[in-house]
């Protein structure tokens, strides 16, 4: 029991995750950055699973996503 009390405090799981999680750049981030560099601020597309993350990230970056279904 004395060994447990003598150990320095360990980081919580949330603190560990915050420290170990590197900033990531996914392919959608690269697409959005390329569009913004070319002064494009609106994306038109079909709404669906493959495009959902792109639309969400684009909107978070201030771009417009206009989705439609045929």
**Per-domain boundaries in the chain:** 24-70
| pLDDT for position 25 | 74
When pLDDT is cut at 50, 70 and 90, the band that residue 21 belongs to is low
pTM above 0.75, yes or no: no
| pLDDT at position 58 | 95
29 burial level (CB within 10 Å; 0-12, 13-18, 19+): middle
What's the CA gap between 42 and 44, in Å, rounded? 7
Task: Give the residue-averaged pLDDT of 20-40.
Answer: 86
Query: In the predicted model, what is the mean pLDDT of the chain?
Result: 80
Q: Are β-strands 42-46 and 64-68 bridged in parallel, bridged antiparallel, or unpaired?
A: parallel
């Amino acid at each position: 029991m004395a060994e447990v009390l003598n150990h320095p405090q360990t980081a919580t799981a949330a603190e560990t995750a915050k420290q170990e999680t590197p900033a990531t750049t996914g392919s959608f981030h690269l697409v959005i950055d390329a569009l913004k560099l070319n002064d494009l601020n609106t994306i038109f597309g079909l709404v669906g699973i493959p495009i959902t993350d792109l639309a969400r990230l684009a909107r978070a970056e201030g771009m417009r996503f206009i989705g439609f279904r045929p």
